[in-house]
A and B are shown apart, each in its own frame.
Chain A
């Protein structure tokens, strides 16, 4: 039950009509910004994110360069109009943290060592927020990197899982997120099944935690299929 006392699950279904483990309608597109090396759009229901990749490109100032590897920079940003009460523009503590964990989630997938002294810049913009924005942004970033032709070991796929009204669910929307008992974001290297981002808050015992991790892995597998499909369709005539 939510803090206002409203039930979030009625007759086994969620308020938007979904089954507990069902994802929202997902829409993905690549190559939406022609001035970027790679770009993408990812919608999970009412959460809309776009991402672009600039690079690999020379890194300045030069003192920031690494002689034996490239570096990855990542910015996660929410548009002021993406949320109910206007968010003041620019980085706040939340987006500073998310930018950092998103970078670490993506980094293991990229052959950065192939680009000494260079940088790969990833920009994630959340245009409309309805829960699970960081994972939607990471899915978009991964697609944009692939679209840019950056050599990658694997695609990165992310999803959220949690517990609402005592039920374990996948892909939380905004209302569920705000009233969840547990809320977890996870990203993984899709084929290797290695977790590169994990954040959780709430209160959960070990047993349920393990069930949630497995549910997240299962949900990522579904999302990965869509990512692959979108890329294959875009590049089928090469």
Chain B
């Protein structure tokens, strides 16, 4: 299968008939959970990832007293793939969560200052929890998109003094930017996006690029044990900027 996929890519084709720079069909469903402050499910082809947003009152960090907090966590649930095991998150889950986190944080996606309740004492902590439901490739892009869609649907709960009035909402979560993560893979001299599971095995270099609404790059992460030249990176970033516009339309 891998050799076949490789031969096809060299000819500019894919196993599933797509073009190299074409995504599988994407379906986004918002508000999939009644209990979460925001939630979304994203399917990219067969790959399925859900993300839930919960808000909790917490203490601000000492170096950002007037800012809310963002925490991203990912679970590679063992139901999603025969390769996933239960237990604490492994290095792939940690990496995925941290790449998604950086995309959201560095793009200033959420206006954290608007999540301050009492400066220096109480702020909203926003938890984004990502669950992989089916791993058919390109998990980072799907997880980043699910997180963004969940944040866009999230609302800040009403407060009654110290208590959170669950289910009663004050305002939407202050989302300012919509960073889109695009992972571009390299095989030989060809570049492709949205690899399926079978293709990921032959991509020894991937670059995850988080692109903001103004086309600025807000996070990069090279993955795999392959090598890239500066020229490769330039081309991959160009592809990511182009594709991000198309994907962002789906959440607007």
The complex places the Cα of A198 from the Cα of B233 at a distance, in Å, of: 10
Question: Cβ of A193 and Cβ of B229 under 8 Å apart?
Answer: yes
Flag whether B237 is at the interface (Cβ < 8 A). yes
Question: Cβ of B215 and Cβ of A205 under 8 Å apart?
Answer: yes
Question: Cβ of A206 and Cβ of B215 under 8 Å apart?
Answer: yes
Question: Cβ of A194 and Cβ of B229 under 8 Å apart?
Answer: yes
Question: Cβ of A192 and Cβ of B218 under 8 Å apart?
Answer: no
Count chain B CB atoms within 10 A of each CB in A196, A203, A205, A217 and give the residue with the most: A203
- Point out the residue from B207, B216, B233 that lies within 8 Å of A203, measured CB to CB: B216
Q: Which B residues touch A213, using CB under 8 A?
A: 230, 233-234
The complex places the Cα of A194 from the Cα of B222 at a distance, in Å, of: 12
- Point out the residue from A99, A200, A205, A217 that lies within 8 Å of B219, measured CB to CB: A200
A114-130 near B? 1/0 per residue, CB < 8 Å: 00000000000000000
Interface 9-residue window, one of B12-20, B93-101, B115-123, B166-174 = B93-101
The complex places the Cα of A141 from the Cα of B223 at a distance, in Å, of: 19
A192-B227, A195-B227, A210-B230 known; A200-B217 Cβ under 8 A: yes
Flag whether A35 is at the interface (Cβ < 8 A). no
Interface 9-residue window, one of A9-17, A24-32, A100-108, A225-233 = A100-108
Flag whether B224 is at the interface (Cβ < 8 A). yes
Question: Cβ of A217 and Cβ of B230 under 8 Å apart?
Answer: yes
- Point out the residue from B98, B221, B233 that lies within 8 Å of A93, measured CB to CB: B98
CB-contacts of A57-100 with B (<8 A) = 93-94, 96-97, 99-100
The complex places the Cα of A198 from the Cα of B237 at a distance, in Å, of: 13
Count chain B CB atoms within 10 A of each CB in A196, A198, A213 and give the residue with the most: A198
Question: Cβ of A195 and Cβ of B228 under 8 Å apart?
Answer: yes
Flag whether A197 is at the interface (Cβ < 8 A). yes
The complex places the Cα of A157 from the Cα of B230 at a distance, in Å, of: 15
Q: Which residue of A lies closest to B72 (CB)?
A: A93
Question: Cβ of B229 and Cβ of A206 under 8 Å apart?
Answer: no
Q: Which A residues touch B218, using CB under 8 A?
A: 201-204
Q: Which A residues touch B95, using CB under 8 A?
A: 96-97, 100-101
Question: Cβ of A99 and Cβ of B234 under 8 Å apart?
Answer: no
Question: Cβ of B229 and Cβ of A195 under 8 Å apart?
Answer: yes
Q: Which residue of B lies closest to A196 (CB)?
A: B227
A170-213 near B? 1/0 per residue, CB < 8 Å: 00000000000000100001001111111111111110011001
Question: Cβ of A201 and Cβ of B229 under 8 Å apart?
Answer: no
Number of B interface residues at 8 Å Cβ cutoff, please give it. 35
Flag whether A214 is at the interface (Cβ < 8 A). yes
Question: Cβ of A194 and Cβ of B217 under 8 Å apart?
Answer: no
Flag whether B198 is at the interface (Cβ < 8 A). no
Question: Cβ of B97 and Cβ of A197 under 8 Å apart?
Answer: no
Minimum Cβ distance to chain A for residue B55 (Å): 21
Question: Cβ of B230 and Cβ of A93 under 8 Å apart?
Answer: no
Q: Which A residues touch B107, using CB under 8 A?
A: 203
Question: Cβ of A99 and Cβ of B106 under 8 Å apart?
Answer: no
B219-252 near A? 1/0 per residue, CB < 8 Å: 1111111111110011001100100000000000
Flag whether B91 is at the interface (Cβ < 8 A). yes
Flag whether B102 is at the interface (Cβ < 8 A). yes
Question: Cβ of B102 and Cβ of A201 under 8 Å apart?
Answer: yes
Q: Which residue of A lies closest to B209 (CB)?
A: A200
Q: Which residue of B lies closest to A107 (CB)?
A: B225
Question: Cβ of B238 and Cβ of A198 under 8 Å apart?
Answer: no
Could you give 14 example pairs across A and B, Cβ below 8 Å?
A: A97-B94, A104-B223, A108-B226, A195-B227, A195-B230, A196-B225, A199-B220, A200-B217, A200-B219, A203-B212, A204-B217, A204-B218, A206-B215, A213-B230
Give chain B's interface residues, CB within 8 Å of chain A.
63, 91-92, 94-95, 97-98, 102, 105-108, 207, 212, 215-230, 233-234, 237-238, 241
Give chain A's interface residues, CB within 8 Å of chain B.
3, 93-94, 96-97, 99-101, 104, 107-108, 184, 189, 192-206, 209-210, 213-214, 217
